[in-house]
């Protein structure tokens, strides 16, 4: 006799700048999960657990993007309530939401990362000092927001001065703008899936290019040779392990012509529409969307069953 299935509680919405994107992810994931599991969607509107979430009946599949969703905040609440959930735990979620800590952990395992100036809004560096260290062609972005939220490019000291003046709060980082091919790789159970290449028509994969239809081309699998593909997949697996990730994540890189691959960031709760990057990566190996979401949640289902079998 087979074990009863838990109810999959899909969390969607949230309080971050990516709330509407999360709602779309949650709806798509819930439809796919319902083909295998009893499923219920909980729309999150505050930094709190939703009413009705039961640790004895539910396994959480979160599609909350950005702050509170994937920075360890929701994960800590779930842990405290004894609720089993898919994806990275609270510690690795918090680490990977911080782009600087992510790069430090990956670099310690040999993954190449770009130099950066990290600062808070109340202790800004001068544009002169930054340009002296990193050059004039720069990327300025929040240190702990979603991958394309708040991203800006500057190409001169004057432009950087204006950007710095406009920053009023938060933690930020400035990196040299690496010229190359942008790659995204899904990691499932510690193993890299297919490599996707992202080609924004504007030249920068910002929030607008990411979420406006027709502004970006995607190639899945990326047109790389076998050596480049293997190197990118190894780097993704290494970064995933270095940051203590669990179950799944998406790892993003820039492949430069002369210096090889550089880690950009790890996204622990990536977009989950059928057209999102993680599903694209999975399809490279023949895993369709329904199969993917089932694989993403199964380790949590197994943890739920193991906990239920323990003597009380």
Just list the catalytic residues.
18, 147, 211, 250, 252, 265, 267, 271
Distance (Å, whole) CA 9 – CA 149: 27
- Tell me whether residue 298 is exposed, middle or buried, using C-beta atoms within 10 angstroms of its C-beta: 0 to 12, 13 to 18, 19 or more: middle
d(CA 102, CA 246): 15
Q: Is the peptide bond before 83 cis (omega within 30 degrees of 0)?
A: no
Rg of the chain (C-alpha set): 20
Pairing state between β 39-44 and 7-13 = parallel
Question: By three-state DSSP, how is residue 291 classified?
Answer: helix
**Which DSSP category does 49 fall into?**
P
What CA–CA distances, in Å, run from 172 to 18, 98, 122, 252, 307?
18, 10, 11, 19, 40
Distances (CA, A) of 117 to 171, 240, 252, 259, 271: 11, 23, 20, 20, 28
Q: E-assigned strands of 240-302?
A: 248-256, 260-267
């Amino acid at each position: 006799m087979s074990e009863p299935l838990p109810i999959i509680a899909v969390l969607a919405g949230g309080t971050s700048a990516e709330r509407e994107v999360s709602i779309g992810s949650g709806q798509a994931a819930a439809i796919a999960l319902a083909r295998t599991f009893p499923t219920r969607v909980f729309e999150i509107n505050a930094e709190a657990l939703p009413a009705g979430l039961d640790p004895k009946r539910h396994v959480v599949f979160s599609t909350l993007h950005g702050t509170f969703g994937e920075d360890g905040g929701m994960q800590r609440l779930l842990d405290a309530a004894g609720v089993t959930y898919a994806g990275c735990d609270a510690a690795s979620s918090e680490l990977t939401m911080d782009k600087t800590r992510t790069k430090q952990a990956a670099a310690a395992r040999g993954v190449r990362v770009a130099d950066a100036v990290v600062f808070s809004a109340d202790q800004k560096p001068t544009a002169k000092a930054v340009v002296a260290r990193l050059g004039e062609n720069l990327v300025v972005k929040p240190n702990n927001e979603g991958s394309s939220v708040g991203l800006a490019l500057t190409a001169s000291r004057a432009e950087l001065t204006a950007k710095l003046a406009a920053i009023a709060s938060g933690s930020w980082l400035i990196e040299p703008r690496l010229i190359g091919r942008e790659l995204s790789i899904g990691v499932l159970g510690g193993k890299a899936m297919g490599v996707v290449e992202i080609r924004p028509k504007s030249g920068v994969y910002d929030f607008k290019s990411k979420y406006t239809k027709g502004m970006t081309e995607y190639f899945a699998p990326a047109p790389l040779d076998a050596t480049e593909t293997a190197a990118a997949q190894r780097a993704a697996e290494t970064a995933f392990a270095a940051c203590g990730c669990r179950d799944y994540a998406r790892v993003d890189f820039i492949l430069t012509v002369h210096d090889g691959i550089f880690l950009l960031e790890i996204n622990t709760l990536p977009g989950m529409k059928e057209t999102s990057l993680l599903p694209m990566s999975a399809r490279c190996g023949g895993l369709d969307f329904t199969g993917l979401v089932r694989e993403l949640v199964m380790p949590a289902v197994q943890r739920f069953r193991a906990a239920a079998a323990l003597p009380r």
